[in-house]
């Protein structure tokens, strides 16, 4: 889903990019943060509906990173929010995967992040992505 945000930003389709960021990517991030909080607290702390109690449940540096995912509508800030979401998801997913005995695919994560950085660096008049 993150590549769709990048594609929308590159094409100058801000409303599409923001929808994908806020209504698709954020939903998955919030799910992962809920699982992270559960793992960290033995499922004794609830993040609340729509994460309303996350500030109580997350370490301060995690809370600051989550706050950084709420960007204004400027494309540059939306890029920053996208990368902050990726970092926060990565941090939470590694711990959740470890707790439940799943493998976290770092190669996939690295390739998607590299793709996002590549799209971010493309000139607006590029004819091809690669």
pLDDT number for residue 65: 96
C-alpha to C-alpha distance for 30 and 126, rounded to whole angstroms: 34
Tens digits of residue pLDDT in 46-65: 999 999 999 999 999 999 99
- Structural domains in the chain? 2-121 (1.20.120.330)
C-alpha to C-alpha distance for 128 and 130, rounded to whole angstroms: 6
Mean pLDDT of the chain: 95
pTM to 2 decimals? 0.87
Q: Which residues contact 97 (CB under 8 A, 6 or more apart)?
A: 103, 104
Instruction: Name the nearest CA neighbour of 19 among 31, 5, 33, 2.
Output: 5
């Amino acid at each position: 889903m993150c590549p769709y945000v990048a594609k929308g930003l590159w094409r100058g389709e801000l409303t599409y990019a923001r929808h994908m960021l806020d209504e698709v990517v954020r939903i998955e991030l919030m799910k992962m943060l809920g699982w992270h909080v559960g793992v960290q607290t033995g499922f004794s702390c609830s993040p609340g509906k729509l994460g309303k109690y996350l500030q109580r449940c997350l370490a301060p540096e995690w809370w600051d990173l989550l706050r950084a995912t709420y960007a204004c509508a400027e494309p540059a800030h939306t890029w920053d929010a996208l990368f902050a979401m990726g970092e926060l998801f990565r941090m939470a997913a590694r711990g959740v995967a470890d707790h439940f005995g799943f493998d976290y695919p770092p190669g996939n994560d690295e390739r998607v992040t590299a793709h996002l950085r590549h799209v971010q660096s493309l000139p607006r008049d590029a004819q091809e992505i690669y």
